[in-house]
Amino acid sequence: MEIRFEKADHLKEKPTGTLGFGKYYTDYMFVADWDAGQGWHDARITPYAPIMMDPATMVLHYAQETFEGLKAYKTDDGRVLMFRPEMNARRFINSNKRLSMATLPEEDFVQACESLVRVEKDWIPTGDGESLYIRPYMFATEKAVGVHPSRSYKFIIICSPVGAYYPEGVSPVKIYIEDEYTRATVGGTGFTKCGGNYAGSLKAQEKAEELGYTQVLWLDGVHRQYVEEVGSMNVMFKIDGKIITAPAGETVLPGVTRDSMIQLLKSWGYEVIEKHLDVNELMEAGKNGKLEEAWGTGTAAVISPIGELYYKGEKVTINGFKTGELTHKLYDTLTGIQWGRLEDKFHWTVEVK
Ligand SMILES: Cc1ncc(COP(=O)(O)O)c(C=O)c1O
């Protein structure tokens, strides 16, 4: 893919102090357009700027929108690494196919991310746990009211220097198990990263926050009984020495971190069971001490220890609300590989030169 570069007249001040998550954006963005007949064209890196849209633009009405999230890390010796970007590229294709949108070839997705990160490498923060969050997304741009797949799309990538996703940092979070609203059902869009999945989740998130919980743990959409995933992370439980996580790819997002952690855990000799875990079984394991550890996995949240679960008025505390030994080991190994401090035995990182 040929990428044009349009230089900015002036560059922004870089933020100082605590970065938080998604508060600052870099100087440039990547943009490419797709039209039926012409395909992808006009790939460019241009100064970060607002997008002009006609009020009839289809995404505003029918929500054909998909996105991805990955990070670039700066190592102690100044190298720039991305973590398994080809996995995001493939998931993006799957999301776009499900939403009847244009698809971007895997190599073009990776090239676009690399090219923008190369331009913005001075924006990659180097404080403890900090990185550059990369947000590729695509949306319908045809001007039309009337439900049909759009005949044109825009693909954009923006970047944001970030620190910890949760205000708690790497301390345990409290999770609210949602028993009223659901996120996905078989045959729906649960396995995709489309904006609509998140819009539908906000009501439950508000409810959880009002009760002092950080995120929602979703149950399946049919029985409201089987554990699926958390708002922005997959979830794993260590029960009686075994690791249990929900099967991904249908109603659960196939997380890049989830897949990586399953590979790591198996390489350490753990039995990893992908199954529909009954929430009552989970709460029972919490009460009788068999639930040894629980954690979430995600690009933004990294490995996030879970210290408390709330379900229908009952609470269980996990590992005395302390980060468990295995959770710690996963966090240290994953971040060690991502920041180039540990050997990358699985060849997960891609260097941006
Ligand atoms: C709903 C949901 N589940 C799981 C994840 C974790 O996926 P990944 O590890 O690819 O970031 C995310 C974040 O992307 C998410 O939004």
Cα–Cα distance measured from residue 192 to residue 352, given in angstroms and rounded to the nearest whole number: 27
Cβ contact 344:79 at 8 Å: no
Q: What is the mean pLDDT of residues 308-319?
A: 97
CB of 256 shorter than 6 A to ligand 1: yes
Atom of ligand 1 nearest to the CA of 234: 4
> Is residue 67 predicted with pLDDT exceeding 80?
yes
CB of 297 shorter than 6 A to ligand 1: yes
Q: Which residues fall within 8 angstroms of residue 36, CB to CB, at 6 or more apart?
A: 151, 152
- Model pLDDT, residue 165: 79
Looking up tokens 């929430």 gives 279
SS3 20: coil
pLDDT band at 164 (very low <50, low <70, confident <90, very high): confident
Residue 166 has pLDDT above 90, yes or no: no
Q: Is the pLDDT of residue 167 over 80?
A: no
Encode pLDDT of 96-118 as tens digits. 999 999 999 999 999 999 999 99
For residue 31 and ligand 1, the question of a CB distance below 6 A is answered with: no
32: left (phi over 0), alpha (psi -120 to 50) or beta: beta
Q: Do residues 18 and 163 make contact, with C-beta atoms less than 8 angstroms apart? A: yes
Q: Quick one: average pLDDT of 25-46?
A: 98
Query: Ligand 1 in contact with 234 (CB < 6 A)?
Result: yes
As a whole number of angstroms, the distance between CA 206 and CA 202 comes to 6
Mean pLDDT of the chain: 97
Distance (Å, whole) CA 323 – CA 246: 21
Amino acid at 12: K
Q: Which of 170, 87, 96, 133 is nearest to 350 (CA)?
A: 87
Whether ligand 1 lies within 6 angstroms of the CB of 205 is answered as: no
Question: What is the rounded average pLDDT of the residues 47-64?
Answer: 98
Asked if pLDDT for residue 244 goes beyond 90, the answer is yes
Instruction: Report the separation in Å between the CA atom of 76 and the middle of ligand 1, taken as the mean of its atom positions.
Output: 27
Calculate how far, in angstroms, residue 233's C-alpha sits from the geometric centre of ligand 1: 5
pLDDT digits (tens, 9 = 90+) for 185-229: 999 999 999 999 999 999 999 999 999 999 999 999 999 999 999
Output the residue whose Cα is nearest ligand 1's atom 13.
232
> Mean per-residue pLDDT for 329-333?
96
